[in-house]
Structure 1
Amino acid sequence: MTDAPAHPAARPRPGTPGNPYRLTAEDEAALLAGAPWRRLAVIGDSIAEGVGEPTEGFPDQGWAATLADALRRTTPGLAYLNLGTRDQRADEIRATQLALALAFDPDLAVVVAGGNDLLRGRFDIEPVAGHIEAIVRALRETGADVVTVGLYDCAGSPYIPEELRAPLTARLHELNNRTWEIALDHGAIHLDFTNDPGSADPSLYGSDGLHGNRRGHAYTAAVAVRTLGARLGNRR
């Protein structure tokens, strides 16, 4: 069973003093030193795909691609497959992406699911959690390390209407809590962005209010690298 992420109040900014949103190549290499992973698969929705608006001073790519680049600093031959597809619900991710991910034979897999389900008029967590659990279980049964993701509480975005913030927050926390439980049950690693202080940082969001801009993706990648580094026993 994986250790729970640090409480947000105790977690420092994931970047560096010069840029609190982004890690340097040196820091990435130090944090991921000794990483055993050779094949990274990412499945999910638009968050996995990497949708986001360009932001000056940050790489114009999604956080998962930045994570793959960071892993290549210690594993130059890393194979990377991103199956993330915008607008897909958890059942669709399971139906269309899981078999492809398993065929890729990853030793590290990232699962981002449930965000499009909670945006629907009616949200029932149990069927969604069932699909997420099935995905995580299938990947873990191959021996792969699995990373699950709790979505940012985008009520912190200045683009979300005030009347939608409370119900959206409630659904995001419900999804995050169940995903975290699934991760713990299967010995997966959970990235809890729902409770992360970055959720309240308006500079991380794009103009649609739901997706991060490239600063937000850099921040997400930095948290992911630090979390994997901690898993490896590395600190920076």
Structure 2
Amino acid sequence: MGYRSFVAVGDSFTEGLNDPLPDAPPPAPGEVVRYRGWADRVAERLARLDPDFRYANLAVRGKLIDQIVADQVPVAVEMKPDLISFCAGGNDLIRPGTDPDQMAKKLAAAVRTLRATGADVVLFTGTDPRDTPIMRQLRGKFAIFFMHVRSIADLYGCHLVDMWSMQGLRDWRAWSDDRLHMNAEGHRLVAARVLHVLGLPGEDDWRKTWPPRERVDPRAKRREDMQWLKEHFGPWIGRRLRGTSSGDGLAPKRPELGPLSPAPTS
């Protein structure tokens, strides 16, 4: 009826950006903001099904697939959980010159290693980037990689969470201002989809239909796009040019497989 242990592996998506912890105090100067995210939400549900449930989240924002495979996958194998989620490749795909076919080979090798432990493994396709400025130009590369993910899931008997088909995630109300990370509502939808794929009871429906929005003036939309380029995409390019990452020096938020504290109230 459930799982006794769950290890989440990946990047900022699995770490939980930008789903703030309810009632968390403002961070002190220089302190790293910690987030909740879909994986914590799934773990909270699994913990309610089994009082002995344990959870670890090894994901770190900004990590590339090679870093995730080298640093997180061996730790997950050593922990021997019942359930492992593995989502990687998003940060690679938005870099120039990356080959989705080569990325898929690395993913497949890691999945073989994880499945060899006997754990159930959850894989993810990403969302369709066609509505995102600049990112839409990479849509073909995204689609190739996500088709590989579907094939790998089928080949190795993994659970697949297909976010490309989640129409609720096509609305910007499920995303934070940076247009790269989901907000609390987006993470809630993904958590609901994961539980559905696992055949476990959940409290939310991932098939969300948003209420209609007022028509946006095209000029206002262009201003929003320019503001996004300045505040979010520009700094991201700057980090790439400097060879730095938002996750440099950060440790996983839950590096040990252990019990959960009481779940947040919202």
Q: How much has 1:170 moved relative to structure 2? A: 2.1
Q: Provide the rounded CA distance (Å) in 2 between the counterparts of 1:46 and 1:55.
A: 15
Q: Tell me the percent identity.
A: 34
Contact 1:111 1:146 in 2 (8 A): yes
Distance 1:154 1:213, change over 3 A: farther
Contact 2:125 2:164 in 1 (8 A): yes
| Counterpart position of 1:99 | 74
Q: Provide the rounded CA distance (Å) in 2 between the counterparts of 1:55 and 1:91.
A: 29
Larger deviation: 139-148 or 173-182?
173-182
Q: How much has 1:53 moved relative to structure 2? A: 4.7
Q: Provide the rounded CA distance (Å) in 2 between the counterparts of 1:125 and 1:192.
A: 18
Q: How much has 1:196 moved relative to structure 2? A: 1.8
Indicate which of 98, 105, 114 corresponds to 1:123: 98
1:189 and 2:155 aligned: no
Indicate which of 113, 120, 132 corresponds to 1:138: 113
The amino acid that maps onto 2:96 is G
Contact 1:94 1:135 in 2 (8 A): yes
Matches within 5 A, 1:20-99: 34-35=1-2, 37-54=3-20, 61-99=36-74
Contact 1:154 1:199 in 2 (8 A): no
Q: How much has 1:55 moved relative to structure 2? A: 9.7
Q: How much has 1:199 moved relative to structure 2? A: 3.1
Q: Provide the rounded CA distance (Å) in 2 between the counterparts of 1:208 and 1:48.
A: 17
Q: What is the DSSP-based 3-state SS (H/G/I as helix, E as strand, rest coil) of the residue aligned with 2:62? A: coil
Q: How much has 1:54 moved relative to structure 2? A: 4.2
Higher RCO (CA-CA < 8 Å; seq separation 6+): 1
Displaced runs of 4 or more, over 6 A: none
Q: TM-score, normalised by structure 1?
A: 0.75
Distance 1:127 1:198, change over 3 A: same
| Counterpart position of 1:25 | none
The amino acid that maps onto 2:84 is A
Consecutive unaligned residues of structure 2, counting only runs of 5 or more, are 23-34, 206-266
Q: Provide the rounded CA distance (Å) in 2 between the counterparts of 1:102 and 1:55.
A: 28
- Work out which of the two has the higher radius of gyration on C-alpha atoms and give 1 or 2: 2
The amino acid that maps onto 2:69 is R
| Counterpart position of 1:152 | 127
CA offset digits 1:32-52 (Å, max 9, x no partner): xx12x2110110111111111
Aligned-pair RMSD on alpha carbons?
A: 2.1
Q: What is the DSSP-based 3-state SS (H/G/I as helix, E as strand, rest coil) of the residue aligned with 1:147? A: strand
Q: What is the DSSP-based 3-state SS (H/G/I as helix, E as strand, rest coil) of the residue aligned with 2:199? A: helix
Q: How much has 1:165 moved relative to structure 2? A: 4.2
Distance 1:42 1:55, change over 3 A: closer
The amino acid that maps onto 1:48 is T
Q: What is the DSSP-based 3-state SS (H/G/I as helix, E as strand, rest coil) of the residue aligned with 1:152? A: coil
Indicate which of 119, 137, 142 corresponds to 1:172: 142
Q: What is the DSSP-based 3-state SS (H/G/I as helix, E as strand, rest coil) of the residue aligned with 1:64? A: helix
Aligned residues: 191
